[in-house]
Amino acid sequence: MPTKKYIELQDYTEEQLQSELVQTQSQYQKLRFDHTLKGLENPLVLREVRKDIARLNSEIRRRKIANMSPEELLGRSKIKARRRKK
């Protein structure tokens, strides 16, 4: 079952996703810095922000793959096939 955040991300445009990613990454760096210096009240916030960054990256990548031409998809599947052989 998809999370609410995942469903919400599908409504974003490409530019909104990119800006949200930059904003979330800067928030994560700030939280890490604060946690190093004085500690956070709830350090599990770091985990949630990392998951948000992963969700954003996944949605961006999913859209890139969906917009690929058939030739690009064919090349992508060859790369995946080589990885499986190893």
Per-residue pLDDT tens over the stretch 4-41: 788 888 889 999 999 999 999 999 999 999 999 999 89
Question: What span, in angstroms and rounded, lies between the C-alpha atoms of 35 and 52?
Answer: 18
Q: Which domains does the chain have, with CATH numbers?
A: 13-85 (1.10.287)
Mean pLDDT of 77-81: 74
What is the arithmetic mean of pLDDT over 49-78?
Answer: 89
Does the pLDDT value for residue 51 go beyond 80? yes
What is the number of H-type helices and E-type strands within the chain? 4, 0
pLDDT reported for residue 16: 94
CA 17, 19, 23, 29 dihedral sign is positive
Q: What pLDDT is recorded for position 86?
A: 61
Distance CA 43, CA 47 (A): 8
The residue whose two tokens read 């995942």 is 6
